[in-house]
Amino acid sequence: MAQGALRRILVPLDGSGEAESVLPYLRDLSLRFDSHADILGVGMGKKQRRVNQLLEDYVSRVAANLNGDSIEAEPVLLFGTAADKILDFAAQNDVDLIIMASHGRSGISRWWMGSVAEKVISESTTQVLLVPSIRRRKTEAVWMLSFPKILAPLDGSDIGQAALPYVETLAARTGASVSLIQVVSPPGTMEASILGGSDWRKFVKAMNDAADNYLGGIAERLTDRGIKATYEVVTGDPADRIVEYAKDNEVSLIAMSTHGRTGLRRWVLGSVTDKVLHAARMPMWLVRSPKMLIPRSAD
């Protein structure tokens, strides 16, 4: 898969209104990238069960509606454990992006979207767009949604930059602005006492200067591509500051690597991402670095 390409998008649906929160984002991305969409339902038990027939009708109807909107969409019905079937289908069919809702309980297939999404995120080698679940009233129906402002938290490592190529492509296609942020955690009490007052201040300044140079170089590259980019170095707990920045600056999408370890303060981006996932109230685009990929074994 070429980085930044979205030729094929997988959308698991469980039949709930919450899960359908993803559809406006699917429409936007599919039309911008000319993507094929697979609408996946995962049934339980025998295909002849009434509940599975209802699920099959449901995913077929969703796909037909998308086809009517000039989106190439195909219904897919599989049987088994929801998360495993999503992961297997994505791996076996060269899916470029999985779009999922963060929560949702189905009246049809009865699997809990939240726990399924967590397993998919933790094991997927395919990038995932996780969308907060919102059950909209019919009068609130939204046909398309986009990402006018993208936040890309970075940690100074190559692994932590895994989402950056997709941020660049998305911003170039949509005209979105990009905010780069790096959070420098201050040295602990023990480190400060060892270094001493003046040495401690020099150490903190060196970390901030390194982060500033790093982000500045990336912002310059984005600007050269015609993308509006800003950057900021902040101090504090990485997850807390990322969530705070996203809220204060009305960010519409957070794009992060799911793993990464920086040479500056060695905070693990995987754990930071997990904390942001549970605290943020906006969509998150999650990408695993090729250096961290372990192919999913076939059954």
Question: What is the model's pLDDT at position 139?
Answer: 42
Is residue 1 in a domain? Answer: no
> Tell me: the pLDDT tens digits for 181-197?
999 876 654 455 555 56
Question: What is the model's pLDDT at position 61?
Answer: 96
Query: Can you read off the two tokens belonging to residue 161?
Result: 């930059």
Please identify which residue in the block is written with the tokens 């989106």.
Answer: 71
Is residue 297 in a domain? Answer: no
Residues 45 and 133 both lie in one domain: yes
* Cross-strand pairs, 184: 235
Q: Which of 102, 120, 140 is the last residue of a domain?
A: 140
Q: For 81, list phi and psi in degrees, rounded to 5.
A: -80, 125
Please give the Cα distance from 222 to 269 (Å, whole number).
22
* Cross-strand pairs, 99: 129
> Tell me: the pLDDT tens digits for 75-112?
999 999 999 999 999 999 999 999 998 865 554 555 55
How many structural domains comprise the chain? 2
Angle between helices 23-33 and 50-68 (to 10 degrees): 40
Residues 42 and 80 both lie in one domain: yes
pLDDT at 215 over 80: yes
Structural domain for 17, as ranges: 8-140
Percent of the chain whose predicted confidence (pLDDT) is above 70: 79
What DSSP state is assigned to residue 65? H
Question: What is the model's pLDDT at position 159?
Answer: 81
Is residue 3 in a domain? Answer: no
Residues 155 and 276 both lie in one domain: yes
State the chain's maximal CA–CA distance in angstroms: 74
Q: Report in angstroms the alpha-carbon separations of 34 from 16, 72, 148.
A: 26, 8, 20
Residues 111 and 239 both lie in one domain: no
Residues 135 and 159 both lie in one domain: no
Q: Output the domain CATH number for residue 199.
A: 3.40.50.620
Nearest-5° Cα angle at 175, 173 to 177: 125
Cβ contacts of 261 within 8 Å, gap of 6 or more:
155, 157, 159, 267, 268, 269
pLDDT at 266 over 50: no
Residues 218 and 279 both lie in one domain: yes
Residues 122 and 174 both lie in one domain: no
Q: Which of 106, 140, 174 is the last residue of a domain?
A: 140
Question: What is the model's pLDDT at position 260?
Answer: 40
CB 30 within 8 A of CB 143: no
Mean pLDDT for the stretch of residues 25-53: 91
Is residue 126 in a domain? Answer: yes
Q: Which of 110, 140, 170 is the last residue of a domain?
A: 140
Of 39-43, 122-126, 290-294, the least confident = 290-294
